């Protein structure tokens, strides 16, 4: 398959403009994530992984708590304008955190407060952005555009942490937050430049009272969607706590500094980018792909947890990132492609709530295990989550095959 085919969504003007702005903003976001974790772990606490876990819980908890409103907002309102509002608010929050840090008055509770604010805004931003991809490219290019979005996001994950590690050592964490605040101008500019007459509009729901619950009812009647959400819960709750895994392994096991932490986070991102590009080549994902990718995730997390040195650990992180992104991208595209257009916002909000909202449960537990049993044992939790998720998918696959055999027998 040619490169033109691989990047086919970029033929569309609106998607090209959006992709450029999103890449710049994503790099800034990943710089902030690394700086925030490093600030909590090494400056505001004495290598307290539980504090990092609490920060993550506050940042991702609103995904679950605000679920009925965020999904309905993504379906009901003009997504372009909604994203403009959320991106502007995220930029202001980054600016605020940067100012209190640069001036030297930052405290742990302030970081907690900003993390909660980021979580509340992101809860509305995430579902709208995910469904907005369909507005940009339509059904034909949706799977490819979702994969290219993941490529952009994880390219930023590869670049951002490495840059953040250098900047933290050179000028401090506060300036990293301020740089991220400026980066939001790129995505806001791209939204202004879109050709609104070329957007693919989808049916919007009415304002009836039952609208908030329809997403739950819809998913409850779909065994395939329920299976994917269970897998997302397992991986999102116990598997995707990479800030805790990588920071504690880097500091406590391999005795590294901020630069090493940035490089190790980038190693994970290299695998993620590779997984996203592989996904972009596929026309349509499958449940079998989800099963194999989560099994691989469990295996590579195990090998990372027993890695004897940073080189082996980085190599296993790369493979872990590849399998994690394959699962994440495939589940995203599969859920959107098999969901009715008028329900996508609520279904995708439910997806994000499950994968992100599980973090308040998993992150403190994983942080506690890292503090008391060691980072290697914490990584075994992620490995177990991957293997159990693969088992859940395998069960549905076997059930579907038995059903097919029954109908053809």
Nearest to 8 by CA among 324, 272, 202, 282: 282
How far is 384 from 366, CA to CA, in rounded Å? 12
The pLDDT profile of the chain, 409 residues, written as one tens digit per residue, is: 444 467 788 889 999 999 999 999 889 988 998 899 889 988 888 888 788 888 888 887 787 778 778 877 888 888 999 999 999 999 999 999 999 999 999 999 999 999 999 999 988 998 888 889 888 988 778 878 888 887 887 778 778 877 888 899 889 899 999 999 999 999 999 999 999 888 887 655 555 434 557 777 888 888 888 899 999 999 988 988 887 888 888 888 888 877 788 788 878 878 877 887 777 676 677 788 889 999 999 999 999 999 999 999 999 999 998 998 889 888 888 888 888 877 777 787 788 777 766 777 888 888 899 889 989 999 999 999 999 999 999 988 888 776 655 444 5
3-state SS assignment for residue 236: helix
Read off the tokens for 8: 């086919």
How far is 295 from 385, CA to CA, in rounded Å? 9
pTM over the 0.75 mark: no
How far is 141 from 148, CA to CA, in rounded Å? 10
Cα 86 versus chain centre, distance: 17
How far is 63 from 120, CA to CA, in rounded Å? 7
Asked whether the CA dihedral 191, 195, 201, 207 is positive or negative, the reply is: positive
Nearest to 271 by CA among 307, 343, 323, 348: 323
How far is 289 from 286, CA to CA, in rounded Å? 5
Read off the tokens for 53: 């876990």
Q: Where do the domains of the chain lie, and which CATH numbers do they carry? A: 3-199+211-408 (1.20.1250.20)
């Amino acid at each position: 398959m040619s490169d033109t085919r691989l990047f086919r969504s970029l033929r569309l003007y609106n998607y090209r403009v959006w992709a450029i702005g999103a890449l710049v903003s994503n790099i800034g976001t990943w710089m902030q994530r690394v700086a925030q974790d490093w600030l909590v772990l090494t400056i505001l606490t004495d290598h307290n992984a539980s504090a990092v876990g609490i920060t993550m819980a506050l940042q991702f908890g609103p995904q679950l708590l605000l679920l009925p409103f965020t999904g309905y907002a993504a379906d009901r309102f003009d997504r372009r304008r909604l994203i403009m509002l959320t991106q502007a608010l995220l930029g202001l929050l980054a600016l605020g955190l940067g100012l209190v840090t640069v001036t030297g008055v930052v405290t742990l509770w302030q970081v907690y407060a900003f993390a909660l604010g980021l979580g509340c805004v992101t809860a509305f931003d995430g579902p709208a952005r995910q469904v907005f991809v369909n507005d940009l490219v339509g059904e034909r290019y949706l799977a490819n555009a979702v994969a290219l979005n993941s490529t952009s996001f994880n390219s930023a994950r590869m670049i951002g942490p490495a840059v953040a590690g250098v900047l933290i050592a050179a000028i401090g964490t506060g300036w990293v937050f301020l740089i991220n605040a400026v980066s939001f101008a790129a995505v806001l500019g791209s939204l202004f430049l879109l050709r609104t007459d070329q957007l693919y509009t989808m049916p919007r729901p009415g304002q009836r009272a039952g609208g908030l619950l329809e997403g739950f009812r819809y998913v409850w009647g779909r065994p395939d969607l329920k299976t994917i959400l269970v897998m997302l819960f397992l991986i999102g709750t116990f598997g995707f706590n990479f800030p805790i895994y990588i920071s504690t392994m880097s500091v406590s096991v391999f005795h590294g500094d901020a630069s090493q932490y940035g490089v190790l986070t980038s190693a994970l991102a290299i695998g993620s980018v590779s997984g996203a590009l592989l996904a972009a080549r596929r026309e349509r994902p499958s449940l079998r792909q989800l099963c194999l990718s989560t099994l691989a995730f469990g295996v590579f997390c195990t090998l990372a947890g027993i890695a004897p040195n940073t080189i082996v650990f980085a190599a296993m992180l790369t493979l872990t990132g590849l399998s994690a992104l394959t699962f994440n991208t495939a589940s995203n595209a599969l859920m959107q492609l098999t969901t009715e257009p008028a329900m996508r916002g609520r279904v995708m909000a439910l997806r994000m709530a499950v994968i992100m909202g599980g973090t308040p449960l998993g992150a403190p537990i994983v942080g506690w295990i890292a503090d008391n049993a060691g980072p290697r044992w914490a990584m075994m939790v992620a490995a177990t989550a991957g293997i159990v998720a693969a088992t859940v998918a395998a069960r549905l696959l076997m059930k579907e095959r038995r059903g097919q055999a029954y109908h053809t027998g």
